[in-house]
Copies of this chain bind each other. A is one copy, B any other.
Amino acid sequence: MTVHTRYRYELALCIPTHPPIPASPTRRPDLRLLAAGCSDSNSSSHSNPPPPPPHHHHHRPTFSSSSSSSQPPSTPTSSEPLAMPEEDITKYLRQSHARVFEHNRAWVTEQTKKDPEFFVKLSAGQKPEYLWIGCSDSRIPAEQITGLQPGEAFIHRNIANLVNNIDLNVMSVIQYAVRHLEVKHIIVCGHYGCGGVKAAMTPQDLGILNPWLRNIRDVYRQHSEELDAIPDESARYNRLVELNVIEQCRNVIKSAAVQQSYSKNKYPIVHGWVFGLDDGLLKDLNIGFEDMLAEIQKIYNLEDS
């Protein structure tokens, strides 16, 4: 059995018979934490490659039953420049590109069948009532887990759902959503087992990620007394995930756009939620928006009255 035939594709819609590209050797072993998400706290001491992707994706390549599901069948060594022949890589990349367009056409057909006017309405404009600030993690499709339809949620996603004062990217999103779209709710949603939060606490130089993730250490510093008192590492990380969400809510509330709109309109309300990957449920941290706003305004008042 060659390495190629050890793979199969589950559905005919996607690429018929071509192997996925095994990940190249992990050059920074501890960084697998970032990809592994909420793996247990001992995983950083393992020397195995990261786990394969979950197998519930109907349209993605999976290993056949003849391969161990806990380990890719072909792990390239560092002496191999490429994990498979270049022409195979090229073919795989072409096919994994093409399947998205097939999915897209299928989606258009399905939407049009359900509602022939769907795209006419979609192109008429947007008036979303929710702004979602969430993690880039591929396992948290904001619209699906909230059941929000196209047109309902303005979306910003970054690593570890951070809101930083001088980040023009997220601040433009907030300003636009509040002042021009007049959203009614702003949701900061983190998730338990956040690899970004875990990586932020790992004593390792992550290059350009250092300053970004440093914001999470700032959260730790603000709440070190509470966090240091939690003996279980996994529980401590999960509490840090929650505290990170709460601090990012504060950062949203510090903005002039939110304070001024709330003073005038009684919205938006800022919410802190956490998504549980192991049960799919959203948990409301009940941050107490009005009290938090009042507390913030002791120092950050921008009501402009």
8 A Cβ contacts from A36-87 to B: 36-39, 50-60, 81-83, 86
Is the pair A184, B125 in contact by a Cβ cutoff of 8 Å?
A: no
Instruction: Tell me the bound Cα distance from A68 to B200 in angstroms.
Output: 52
Is the pair A111, B158 in contact by a Cβ cutoff of 8 Å?
A: no
8 A Cβ contacts from A124-145 to B: 124-130, 136-141, 143-145
Against B, the Cβ 8 Å flags (1 = close, 0 = not) of A127-167 are 11110000011111101111111111111111100101001
Instruction: Tell me the bound Cα distance from A210 to B208 in angstroms.
Output: 26
Is the pair B96, A184 in contact by a Cβ cutoff of 8 Å?
A: yes
Is the pair A138, B119 in contact by a Cβ cutoff of 8 Å?
A: no
How big is the A interface, by class? 35 or more
Is the C-beta of A264 less than 8 angstroms from some C-beta in chain B? yes
Is the pair A279, B97 in contact by a Cβ cutoff of 8 Å?
A: no
Is the C-beta of A108 less than 8 angstroms from some C-beta in chain B? yes
Is the pair A278, B123 in contact by a Cβ cutoff of 8 Å?
A: yes
Is the C-beta of A31 less than 8 angstroms from some C-beta in chain B? yes
Of the candidate stretches A175-183, A245-253, A292-300, the one touching chain B is: A175-183
Is the pair B60, A149 in contact by a Cβ cutoff of 8 Å?
A: yes
Instruction: Tell me the bound Cα distance from A92 to B138 in angstroms.
Output: 32
Is the C-beta of A209 less than 8 angstroms from some C-beta in chain B? yes
Is the pair A136, B156 in contact by a Cβ cutoff of 8 Å?
A: yes
Is the C-beta of A201 less than 8 angstroms from some C-beta in chain B? no
Is the pair B136, A154 in contact by a Cβ cutoff of 8 Å?
A: yes
Is the C-beta of A100 less than 8 angstroms from some C-beta in chain B? yes
8 A Cβ contacts from A169-228 to B: 169-173, 175-177, 179-182, 184-185, 193, 195-196, 207-209, 211-213
14 residue pairs bridging A and B, Cβ less than 8 Å apart: A50-B127, A53-B128, A54-B121, A56-B118, A56-B122, A60-B129, A83-B265, A96-B129, A119-B280, A139-B151, A144-B150, A158-B169, A158-B170, A169-B169
